[in-house]
Chains A and B, each alone.
Chain A
Amino acid sequence: MQQVTVSEERGVIQRSLEWVTTRFGKKPTDLVFRGITLLLVFIVVATVIGVAVVLVVYSWPTITTFGLSFLTNQAFDPVHNTYGVAPAIFGTLYTSLFAMIFAIPIGLLAAIFVVDFCPRPLRIPLAFFTDLLAAIPSVIIGLFGFLLLAPWLQLTGEPWLQQHLGFLPFFQGQIQGVGMLAAGIVLTIMVLPLIIAVSREVMLTVPTSQREAMLALGATRWEVIRYAVLPFSRVGILGGIILALGRALGETMAVTMVIGNQASQPSLSLFQTGYTLSSVIANQFGEATPGIFLSAVIEAGLIVFIITLITNILARWLISSMERRGAKGVRV
């Protein structure tokens, strides 16, 4: 008796499963599996969109109160309830520009060395070491910057610069060690491995026949790079540079530790202290009380988010346009 009901029940389940299979053209297990997968993918997509939505919603009070003056206002002052991030935007752009000016030539030439000049047995360790530099946590670069670089700059580096190049606007003002120069150097160290890695990957996609053709025409190594390698990989390298710029603009810890976190009179001086958008967030969240203050901190985050989003979309579009032209295997 018991036996019969079980087999009857199984029959019902079997039949309904078969119905599902014919109805949807897929076995039920597959439907469940796809359902779970899609659900988790949906969570990921919702999280990304959620981040953007949360940033906009929570910074809405400051957006409506201050509008565009938030970008031009000098003071970030909870006491007088007036908020602006002009010095932070200046600090972000200035330090990143500094980093790019040094990291681009150094990184590009280092990548050229790895790809073209390096003795064969050294290539892999060299590529590995530069990748390793990218894996070092930013707080350790910050420790290095704060405990070694900043004191050195204060006692040796900056006095020397002021003495010999003090007529330039970059090397005037009070010497403090921490400041724009230290932040710029720290950022250079942090974006260098990224520029090396992307340029290297992109230059490796240049067909050997192109190089060989140039060499056969009697070109020097430099001419091979100048007229065959660089034109072919130009777009990808530009993508890598923009990607690195995005990284520099958003970097938080290392910069926060060495930039001084104090607004000074806006000038071109590399010795002045300042802050960046990210360091404003890192320094202010602790005191932020719900309301307009909290909203101001989050709007600083929103600006960083938008800037890095734009740089990333641009960079990836450039790099993927390399792929359309036949270069394979570059995904950054």
Chain B
Amino acid sequence: MSTTVSERKSSASNPFQPPASAREIQRQFSNGCLIVLATLFALLAVGVLIYLLFYVIVNGIRYINLDFITKLPTPNGEPGGGMGPAIQGTLILVGLASLIGIPLGIFTAIYLSEFGRGRLANMVRSLVDLLTGVPTIIFGLFAWVLIVVPQGTFSGFSGGVALGIIMIPIVARTTEDVLRLVPREQREASLALGATEARTTVRVVVPAALSGIVTGIVLAMARVAGETAPLLMTAFGTTFWNTNIWSPMDALTLRIYNFTLSPYQTQVDQAYAGALVLILLILITSFTVRWFTGGFKRKF
């Protein structure tokens, strides 16, 4: 039902085809507009992502070398140097966060999917959901007030606590979802063989859902590795090697933040390189996780 001139001529020769009315033209026009706009905006969203990736890769790739991983940041304006302490710090902070976030997250999920009934379970589930929506700087503030201010010093430990709290809901939600996918029959079979509830959970249900749980953990780790705001006021950052979790610790995101705002071009260059490392880390984890969980075939 197109509205071109040739079509109208042919419709005149065809007595069964009504002529295109103004209403018809308007319908087709708005339909066309929608398709064009929808395509355009979808391309725009993907375009922004691709542009951002290219921008970071092109600007950062030149400064990725061995020095970047092994050297200290140079003092103001001097060329060379790297982000060694930042990479080390991010690893330590994510490790600390995992110590807090993974057990708490997994056991919350076990509670919600295996034991939790009624009002208490619903309350816990709502709280976990709400936890994901709270801006992460709030958890930084929490750790800052409770750990940094009383101790009088910024510390890697407080950063790990803040990141750990951020990990809890991510781990809990993905774990709960996969635990629920384990068939009821498997639990019943285990219980029927005389296994206790605890043994059933630990030896049957959790192993059956293990790949999904690991996925959740990896995603949560990638997510907190990219956090900056809560670390500003907890880990704070340093330009020296530091493995003492009771003193200020650097992180990749903190170094990127500081160097992006730096007036020295050499530091800005390092910020690009740091951003590239961070983006690669997240791309690689996202792709691997999707690959292993068959997420590419999901739903469609």
Residues on A lying within 8 angstroms of B by beta carbon are 26-27, 29-30, 32-34, 36-38, 40-41, 43-45, 47-48, 50-51, 54-55, 58, 105-107, 109-110, 112-114, 116-118, 120, 123-124, 126-133, 135-144, 146-148, 189, 192-193, 196, 204, 220-223, 225, 243, 246-247, 250-253, 257, 278, 281-282, 285-286, 290, 294, 297-298, 301, 304-305, 308-309, 311-313, 315-316, 331
Contact = CB atoms under 8 A, between A and B. Distances in A.
Given A40-B107, A148-B55, A223-B27, A142 B42 contact: no
Contact of B253 (A27, A139, A223): A139
Contacts of B193: none
**Chain B contact residues (Cβ within 8 angstroms of A): what range?**
35 or more
Interface of B: 27-28, 30-31, 33-35, 37-39, 41-42, 44-46, 48-50, 52, 55-56, 103-104, 107-108, 110-111, 115, 123-124, 126-131, 133-139, 141-142, 144-146, 149, 165, 168, 172-173, 177, 196-199, 201-202, 222-223, 226-229, 232-233, 253, 256-257, 260-261, 268, 271-272, 275, 278-279, 282-283, 286, 290, 295-300
A207 to B, nearest CB: 15
B136 A285 contact: no
B135 A251 contact: yes
B292 to A, nearest CB: 14
Contact of B232 (A54, A126, A282, A294): A282
A246 B257 contact: no
B39 A113 contact: yes
A124 B298 contact: yes
Contact of A222 (B30, B131, B228): B30
A297 to B, nearest CB: 8
A37 B137 CA distance: 28
B274 to A, nearest CB: 9
A253 B257 contact: yes
A243 B298 CA distance: 23
A298 B56 contact: no
Contacts of B38: 109-110, 112-113, 116-117
User: Which of B229, B233, B278 has the most chain A CB atoms inside 10 A of its CB?
Assistant: B229
B34 A298 contact: no
A253 B229 contact: yes
Contact of B165 (A26, A47, A305): A47
A109 B42 contact: yes
Contacts of B172: 44
Contacts of A193: 45
A309 B134 contact: yes
Given A30-B197, A51-B138, A257-B257, A40 B41 contact: no
Contacts of A132: 49, 283, 286
A168 to B, nearest CB: 24
Contacts of B123: 45
B138 A304 contact: yes
Contact of A37 (B107, B196, B290, B297): B107
Nearest to B164: A47
Given A124-B296, A142-B257, A223-B27, A133 B137 contact: no
B107 A136 contact: no
A146 B261 contact: yes
Nearest to B297: A124
A44 B49 contact: no
Contact of A243 (B133, B198, B226, B268): B133
Given A34-B115, A250-B135, A281-B141, A220 B28 contact: yes
A135 B222 CA distance: 9
Nearest to B227: A137
A109 B35 CA distance: 9
A41 B111 contact: yes
7 contacts: A29-B196, A34-B115, A220-B28, A252-B137, A281-B141, A304-B135, A311-B133
B299 A44 contact: no
A260 B107 CA distance: 43
A189 B49 CA distance: 9
Given A54-B142, A136-B282, A257-B257, A48 B131 contact: yes
A41 B42 contact: no
Nearest to A249: B135
Contacts of B124: 41, 44-45
A315 B141 CA distance: 25
B153 to A, nearest CB: 13
Contacts of A114: 42
A40 B103 contact: yes
Pick from B177, B260, B278 the residue with the most CB of A within 10 Å.
Answer: B260
Given A114-B42, A140-B278, A193-B45, A301 B257 contact: no
